Amino acid sequence: MGTKLTLVIEPQVIRTAKQYARRHNKSVSKMVEQYLALVSASDDLDERVPFPLGQLTSELIGSIRIADPDAEEKSSKQLIEEAKLSRFE
């Protein structure tokens, strides 16, 4: 069981968060917990990256799973070209 935490949040944010949570079968508490875990984990990443990352880049880190690099011997340039072409299929 977790520990209780009191937050001060704008009422409109609470309403939309509850709606989002309902649609995704989660509790607002679980969403806050996951967000805080994600944000605090990014500190470890900040220490490994020698330059500052933009907000969007930071938010997207970890959202894409890369296939095993040994599975196919394609260069990143080939993968990018394939991704560009697949947008038009």
Whether residue 6 lies inside any domain: the answer is no
pLDDT at position 29 over 80: yes
pLDDT at position 46 over 70: no
Global model pTM greater than 0.85: no
Give the span between the Cα atoms of 89 and 86, in whole angstroms. Answer: 5
Grade residue 21 by pLDDT with cuts at 50, 70 and 90: very high
Residue 12, pLDDT score: 94
Count of the separate structural domains present in the chain: 1
Residue 50, pLDDT score: 56
Name the residue with higher pLDDT: 25 or 43. 25
Structural domain boundaries, residue 45: 11-86
Task: Specify the DSSP class assigned to residue 1.
Answer: -
Give the span between the Cα atoms of 82 and 88, in whole angstroms. Answer: 10
Name the residue with higher pLDDT: 16 or 36. 16
Whether residue 2 lies inside any domain: the answer is no
